[in-house]
Structure 1
Amino acid sequence: MTILQSTQHGVLTLTLQRPEKKNALSSVMYQALTAAVQQAEQDPDVRVVVLRGQPDCFCSGNDLADFVAAGALNAEHPTVMFLHALSHFQKPVIAAVSGLAIGIGTTALLHCDLVYAAPGCRFQLPFTALGLCPEAASSLLLPKLVGYQKAAQYLLLGEAFDTNEAHRMGLVNDVVSVDELFAYAEQKAQKLAALPSEAVMQSKKLLRAPQQQLVQQVLHQELAVFEHLLHTDACQQALSQFFARNKG
């Protein structure tokens, strides 16, 4: 299993479990995550979702070979389905991040309600280096969170940043030692789960409402540009070089 699921006291924990690939997300993993989120949406016993990886790696991004093989970025593409499920999810989502958080490993955090991270994480959005553009509505959400110049630094130059910087920017709520991170996230999740569920869900809805329609619009715009760029010579060359470096 590449996605482990466990439910306790109203908290559904989803653990990325593909350490040999640094938790790079495959189509199968996206499908499992989407199904879990959709089921949690309908399950009154699930009040909070926690998303985590291993102590040394949260998520190294897309499994690029698998991603390309999945075909056009339409509504049936596993990545697109997950982005829609996550961005529409009405219950609180907590992320516990340690180690690498690359590409979708960072942009998905913009759709989480609380993010806790261990010291020494590496966050990076290397889209332009691959001849691609931002995804997951990050071209909207990141500038709103950190300001245009910082967002340009990370989305145009693709420069990496660490946990302390993520905390200063407001992407991360608290910095927690790696030994205590998962327990800390669970404690916060249990605290949320103990609150009146409709009050929590309605509060999240109010927090997200002013930009929810725009998020969906930008998400679609990004996907259209992403799809176009995937077929450019620059992207094909960058992907070929990436696959050659990571062969075997």
Structure 2
Amino acid sequence: MTPPASRPENEPLLLSSDRDGVRTLTLNRPDRKNALNPPLWVALRDALRAVTDDDGVRALVLTGAGGAFCSGADISVPEDVHPDRKLRRLTDVALALYELPIPTVAKVTGVAVGAGWNLALGCDLVVATPESRFCQIFAKRGLSIDLGGSWLLPKLVGLQQAKRLVLLADTIDAGEAHELGLVTWVKAAAEIDGFVDELAARLAAGPPVAMAHSKALLKAGADCTLPEALANEARAQPGNFATADSAEAYAAFAQKRDPSFTGKWAVPPRT
């Protein structure tokens, strides 16, 4: 078996690239299957927070270098800090990803283990290859689940399956993950890059304000009653009517063309 490629000494732990409104963040520790060490946790937190403040970014792809997504937190090197501080790094990353208003895609090749799998599950959509493998490995390390997995898994697969995945810490393949609803699409390794590029481009071309509202409504809807959800929807929709995108959508439909969405506020200023 060919060993994972090592990272050049001066190369960043986290790579960032932009293309047509899509930002791709790549975990870059291929020699450790992109295990998250303290500097990488901080770099990822800062990069996710920066996305929120950049109006030019309309979709995010999160992936890993060297044929793996992420093997979880790097526990190979002891760290002389209080556990509360260690866990705060994880909490900051999980919340920064959760709070992003733009659509997010995890592109998973190779392994997604422990916190690495929950990092992928924190994205809105997950694309994997048939070779991808997933494991909630915490029990095998004498640890309990983290990075939001205790909240994400029951919502995605139900409580019983979540218990099975966490308490037994079994490794499952991409096919089973897809059947459970933990992977959105499975694509051949030769096809995944092109598929994710096209998917991210479609998401970036959508109406940014309306999509941010929908994403927030779906998250809130999972924990509220139907009357509450309907009230939330009623509050959100006027904000969409007040953007240029609403008029653009109707014009594009009438003119039989693709719409060009900007998210710009279209209400005249008060005089």
Task: Say whether the fold is shared (TM-score over 0.5).
Answer: yes
1:29 matched residue in structure 2: 40
Q: Distance in 1 between matches of 2:191 and 2:27?
A: 18
> Is the 8 Å Cα contact of residues 112 and 120 (structure 2) preserved in structure 1?
no
Secondary structure at the counterpart of residue 23 of structure 2: strand
Task: Give the counterpart of 1:88 among 91, 99, 102.
Answer: 99
Residue-by-residue CA offset, 1:127-149 (whole Å, 9 max, x unaligned): 11222111122123212211222
Within 5 A, what are the aligned runs for 1:5-44?
5-44=16-55
1:125 matched residue in structure 2: 136
Q: Distance in 1 between matches of 2:209 and 2:182?
A: 26
Q: Distance in 1 between matches of 2:86 and 2:29?
A: 25
1:110 matched residue in structure 2: 121
1:224 matched residue in structure 2: none
Q: Distance in 2 between matches of 1:96 and 1:17?
A: 14
Query: For the aligned residues, what is the CA RMSD?
Result: 1.9
Secondary structure at the counterpart of residue 60 of structure 2: strand
> Is the 8 Å Cα contact of residues 97 and 122 (structure 2) preserved in structure 1?
yes
> Is the 8 Å Cα contact of residues 27 and 70 (structure 1) preserved in structure 2?
no
TM-score by length of 2: 0.74
> Residue 210 of structure 1: CA displacement?
3.3
Secondary structure at the counterpart of residue 83 of structure 2: coil
Count of residue pairs brought into register by the alignment: 213
Q: Distance in 2 between matches of 1:41 and 1:212?
A: 24
As a proportion of its length, which structure holds more helix? 1
Q: Does 1:148 align with 2:159?
A: yes
> Is the 8 Å Cα contact of residues 27 and 67 (structure 1) preserved in structure 2?
no
Deviates more, 1:133-142 or 1:89-98: 133-142
> Residue 36 of structure 1: CA displacement?
1.0
Letter matched to residue 180 of structure 2: M
Task: Give the counterpart of 2:210 among 193, 199, 202.
Answer: 199
Task: Give the counterpart of 1:60 among 53, 66, 71.
Answer: 71
Letter matched to residue 181 of structure 2: G
Residue-by-residue CA offset, 1:155-196 (whole Å, 9 max, x unaligned): 001011000001101111111111221221121111010111
Task: Give the counterpart of 2:62 among 35, 51, 66.
Answer: 51
In the alignment, structure 2 segments of 5+ residues that lack a partner are 1-11, 225-271
How much identity, in percent, do the aligned residues show?
38
In the alignment, structure 1 segments of 5+ residues that lack a partner are 214-248
Instruction: Indicate the structure (1 or 2) with the bigger Cα radius of gyration.
Output: 2
Q: Does 1:160 align with 2:171?
A: yes
Secondary structure at the counterpart of residue 195 of structure 1: coil
Secondary structure at the counterpart of residue 127 of structure 1: helix
Secondary structure at the counterpart of residue 7 of structure 1: strand
> Is the 8 Å Cα contact of residues 34 and 70 (structure 2) preserved in structure 1?
yes
Q: Distance in 1 between matches of 2:177 and 2:66?
A: 18
Letter matched to residue 111 of structure 1: G
Residue-by-residue CA offset, 1:183-220 (whole Å, 9 max, x unaligned): 2112111101011111111110111113579xxxxxxx
Q: Distance in 2 between matches of 1:146 and 1:203?
A: 22
TM-score by length of 1: 0.80
Secondary structure at the counterpart of residue 137 of structure 2: coil
Deviates more, 1:78-87 or 1:44-53: 78-87
- Compared CA separation, residues 60 and 75, structure 1 to 2 (3 A): closer
> Residue 18 of structure 1: CA displacement?
0.7
- Compared CA separation, residues 75 and 60, structure 1 to 2 (3 A): closer
Secondary structure at the counterpart of residue 69 of structure 2: strand
Q: Does 1:173 align with 2:184?
A: yes
> Residue 76 of structure 1: CA displacement?
8.2
> Is the 8 Å Cα contact of residues 109 and 171 (structure 1) preserved in structure 2?
no
Secondary structure at the counterpart of residue 112 of structure 2: strand
> Residue 40 of structure 1: CA displacement?
0.7
- Compared CA separation, residues 167 and 69, structure 1 to 2 (3 A): farther
